[in-house]
A and B are shown apart, each in its own frame.
Chain A
Amino acid sequence: MSAPAAGHYTSTGLDSRKIAIWAFIGSECMLFVSLISTYLIYKGKSRVGPYPHEVWVSPSGEHFKAILNIPVTSASTFVLLMSSLAMVLALAAVQNKDLPKRTTGDRILGSSKLWLWMTAILGTTFLGFQAFEFTSFVHEGLTIRTNLFGSSFFTLTGFHGAHVTAGVLWLLTLLAIDYRRGLGPKDALNVDIAALYWHFVDVVWIAIFTLVYLIK
């Protein structure tokens, strides 16, 4: 088997892997917009509760409160935003690996392991928030089969959670490479591609947080 190529450059002068990740992100935009469209089309059309923003009393007289927990979701949104900051610092650390690190600040900012760990931990924390939310919804009587809101909500946020999980696994593979042989400027494009995926997952959540959680 031949040695891996140093670059995959096309006639445009751009690396084919970076073109591929942007094309993939473009296609992912369409996937998530289709899921968001489905959620918005079904919004307010559930015949039975629980509902996202309104109290519901069942025919048997059982009371269900508005099911969305905005404080918890706001916290998880903050965690995901900070994970994007950590990711971009991880990329900068890999790109600047060869630069001299004179101060403590330089050493902290230049540690790709630290920022990759931070990103993975924050991503896992976000998934923990989502697991807590899903579990509490099920305990409060909302499953994927309960009503149109439950079906579209769990599908949309579940797909997003699956993407975050894939992102965390990707970060862990980068960390494994970093521990094994160290990530340097020659690996910057690989980290950049992972970072683009991670930030895309973040921007999708920005849209979901507003459209699903905040707009009543």
Chain B
Amino acid sequence: MEHDSTHSEVTKAPHHGHGDDDAYHPGWSTYWKVAVILTLITVVEVWIYYIPSFSSSRGFVPSLLAMSAVKFAIVVAFYMHLKYDHKLFRALFTGPLFIAGTTLIALLFLFGQLVARFGPGK
């Protein structure tokens, strides 16, 4: 698409000059690349789902979780601008996310869903 630097480069969010929420935001040239990467990762996720030899292997679930985590991080960092924003916003998001993630893992151990993989005697 035809465009000039006014829309393609990193721009400053005009929040009228108060504090650190005047974050720099990337432009179109970054956003479309992020969209392509997200699409490619999704394609790979679905592709490996349909490979019987891989989907029944031990590497299947970790691969999917890793790809999902990468997609999650990319959207949060670039589309939600957390990479460029104030560290307080990062703390407000990652703090509850860490608590929630820890609780999820604890619950899965408590109810025996992870015992098969990491439990005693395995």
Contact = CB atoms under 8 A, between A and B. Distances in A.
Given A18-B89, A214-B46, A199 B79 contact: yes
A1 interface: no
Interface in A105-152: 105-106, 108-110
B42 A9 contact: no
B19 A9 contact: yes
Contacts of A26: 92-93, 95-97
Given A74-B46, A81-B39, A108-B1, A92 B7 contact: yes
Contacts of A18: 21, 89
Contact of B100 (A23, A30, A40, A216): A30
Contacts of B95: 26
Contact of A200 (B20, B32, B80, B89): B80
A29 B93 contact: yes
B119 interface: no
B39 A13 contact: no
Interface residues of B, number: 59
B2 A104 contact: yes
Nearest to A216: B55
Contact of B35 (A82, A104, A192): A82
Interface stretch (A54-62, A94-102, A159-167, A170-178): A94-102
A87 B75 CA distance: 12
Contacts of B75: 84, 199, 202-203, 206
Given A22-B89, A41-B108, A105-B2, A188 B14 contact: yes
Given A14-B86, A85-B34, 19 more contacts: A9-B19, A18-B89, A22-B89, A26-B93, A37-B103, A41-B111, A43-B113, A70-B50, A77-B42, A81-B42, A88-B79, A92-B25, A95-B14, A99-B6, A105-B2, A109-B28, A199-B75, A206-B72, A210-B45
Interface of B: 1-4, 6-7, 11, 13-16, 18-21, 25, 27-28, 31-32, 34-35, 38-39, 42, 45-46, 49-50, 55, 60-61, 64-65, 67-68, 71-72, 75-76, 79-80, 86, 88-89, 92-93, 95-97, 99-101, 103-104, 107-108, 111, 113
